[in-house]
Structure 1
């Protein structure tokens, strides 16, 4: 019945080939499709409902996100691909009133005022990870940034950076996310028939056992935090436990578990990918690195983290990184509720729409020479929330946006100020699928040549660059 509904700009590629390409090479799939149909096309892929319409025209995206809810709704059930990772009580899965209530409960820990409390933790952990990397030895940028991001999440979520539970969670979460580290293994999420527990030796079997062990630790942490309530604690778990809805109700243990998994997995993976791409581009283009260093020097030896976060060129570098390599390819789905016209096409009820972040950020009319890394774009022009939307937009905009961007800026500034880094290769790297996100591969490597020194003049002076 679904295929009888008229849909705009169907691709001529055979159905099976579309689905395979979407899993294995999503960037190639989208770029091939947009060459045929620049603004809107029908994609027949897997994971979010088999047939859906991709839109990357900013005015159309604005109409979808700001129009009357009678025309477009946000169905949580279309995000069930994430269910094995985050659970059915996650804010990513919920819809309607329950989604709005849960989102409201989760907002306080990510308020701007909370960022200052996390600042020194972020900087200390970034240095801690890099200090352990042997100098003059190639290391994976992706692995290093994932290590930093995971430790930051564990510290900000639970308020601890040591102990048995911390070490277990650090190991288990790393194992769990690495299950989906390649396009091949990511197919487990897209093809439910592959989700078979064939024992602890099978990939899905390992995933289920690691998830079970993580659950046991999370429930233990929730129980301990409830028992030892401390109003002075600022970690996210404590704030979530103390949160109350309009009826005075708090989250259940299961709701807390699912939201913690959402934060630990989604927050860790996406931020790590962004930081890895940022380091790559800053060192791929020496002129960008020198401009950043010059801006950082202007703040002196011990800059206030909030001052770092406000630096215009650093902000532009982070935004351009998220523009050229958005970690998330699509916004959450919108479902058409009544017949509407969009970009000259009639859309009928139950049609699923996805605003395509990746293709939006690659539009030549918005971003001339979109494949080139140019931070100056964001100094010369202010883009609307429907032209630049790495964290999504509307009712399902990423809750952790402020913390993610704050961490991105502080880690990039810390590593650039403290360490002399080099890329092992300047070959252009292409993004690849990692679960439902886009990331750099493990082949992108760097070398730490030494630490940068601080002079009495309160300026950071780089050590001599070795060729």
Structure 2
């Protein structure tokens, strides 16, 4: 078998290099080896692909290359043994389908006004002249949004309890202490809540207690008007036709919570940076937003073309995930001229695909109009992954991103605290927000122009 070329450095050194500077590492690998290369993970070849045709083959060759749940087993202590990442085959397909209705289509519309209201309340708490960290501020918004979407909660004692415990869980999930425990199993000992692993288990127990209490109450009193994920799962049947157990329901939430808060907050924060870093982009976007009048309907906001391109470009230049979830080669297959044998692991590199000069001229430049000028395939633009492991919350995430950004821009004037600073990404968990967290200043309420300027959607 002839594998693609790749670095000969020890796996440990490569892993350390990736942890220290993931995007720089991928840039170096791409420059040196092109759009397909091999990294040895012990005796297992890991083939990284950034060529769209190669990625398409990986996603669509389901018989030869499987999205095996066992490749994600290292994340089980974080997301649960029966979470979507751990499952594959019929179980994965069925449970993924259970999550889709409340996160897609007309169901998403019901969250629109709530997203705008939460955004307005959080930003309105900032005093004129006050400096703030955009990333942590936006996290407050995305946490409240995800609580409503997943659990249907937006007020009351249990809502406040969930908000408190989830904030602690999500903060600790990004900590190096938990990372060490996940990397070295011998550290996973419950020696009390004053030790890293004991603290993590204690937080999980508190979350479980709250969730199971909510499940018990919901099962006892059915409310057919609810449209959240939990309500959908309570009376769903598993792939064998049996009711879902409380534990099965519980394990579907951690990955949705992590993606729903951190990934969304990262994408929105980068959008705020680019819009305030580039005056022309900001002015053009405001001109489009002003065409909707003083109190725009959330669904009208979501369909604005230039707003959509700004969000897409923010997701392109610094995607919330660097690589796709791993796939396992189950039977021999040729990918881009290389014969991959069973046992080989493959991953698409989202970051390098989004940086391809042939797809995105001047790829390091923020140019939203490129999405007006060209239609990209799901193998060329894939901020939410692809295939069987594509993010189930994609529609809600993009909807939320547009509404939060639009609400802030329409109603408030913000500025970068340091307009000369060029923000770079920093790895926090699996996300890459601005390294500084993005320090901004609240200038005050925005005064809408008396006569909105004309906006031309397809102008370059």
TM-score (norm 1): 0.91
Question: Which of 9, 16, 31 is the aligned partner of 2:12?
Answer: 16
SS at match of 2:442: strand
Quick check: 209-218 or 234-243, which moved more? 234-243
Q: Aligned equivalents of 1:393 and 1:25: distance in 2? A: 24
CA distance 1:327–1:234, shift in 2 (3 Å): same
2:442 is matched with which residue? 448
Q: CA RMSD in A?
A: 2.1
2:430 is matched with which residue? 436
Q: Aligned equivalents of 1:344 and 1:327: distance in 2? A: 30
Q: 1:213-292 maps to which residues of 2 (within 5 A)?
A: 213-244=206-237, 248-292=241-285
1:405 counterpart = 2:401: no
Deviation readout 1:378-437 (Å, 9 max, x if unpaired)? 011010000000011112211110000000000000000011001112312221222223
Question: Which of 21, 24, 29 is the aligned partner of 1:28?
Answer: 24
Q: Aligned equivalents of 2:408 and 2:182: distance in 1? A: 34
Contact between 2:98 and 2:232, CA under 8 Å: does it hold in 1?
no
Q: Aligned equivalents of 1:183 and 1:428: distance in 2? A: 26
Contact between 2:329 and 2:343, CA under 8 Å: does it hold in 1?
yes
> How many residue pairs align between the two structures?
452
Q: Aligned equivalents of 2:177 and 2:425: distance in 1? A: 15
1:161 counterpart = 2:154: yes
1:347 is matched with which residue? 340
Moved over 4 A (4+): 182-185, 245-248, 457-460
SS at match of 1:341: strand
1:82 offset after TM fit, Å? 2.3
Contact between 1:23 and 1:190, CA under 8 Å: does it hold in 2?
no
Deviation readout 1:323-355 (Å, 9 max, x if unpaired)? 001101121221112222222222111100001
1:119 counterpart = 2:103: no
Question: Which of 289, 294, 298 is the aligned partner of 1:301?
Answer: 294
SS at match of 1:422: strand
SS at match of 1:84: helix
1:138 counterpart = 2:131: yes
Q: 1:371-390 maps to which residues of 2 (within 5 A)?
A: 371-390=364-383
CA distance 1:15–1:264, shift in 2 (3 Å): closer
1:443 offset after TM fit, Å? 3.9
Q: Aligned equivalents of 1:402 and 1:352: distance in 2? A: 29
Contact between 1:186 and 1:433, CA under 8 Å: does it hold in 2?
no
1:192 counterpart = 2:188: no
Q: Aligned equivalents of 1:353 and 1:316: distance in 2? A: 30
Q: Aligned equivalents of 2:177 and 2:280: distance in 1? A: 37
1:463 is matched with which residue? none
Deviation readout 1:37-87 (Å, 9 max, x if unpaired)? 1111112459xx9641111100111112122x3211110111123212220
SS at match of 1:367: coil
Deviation readout 1:278-336 (Å, 9 max, x if unpaired)? 11111111111111100000111121211111111000000000000110112122111
Contact between 2:90 and 2:239, CA under 8 Å: does it hold in 1?
no
SS at match of 1:349: coil
Question: Which of 54, 62, 72 is the aligned partner of 1:60?
Answer: 54
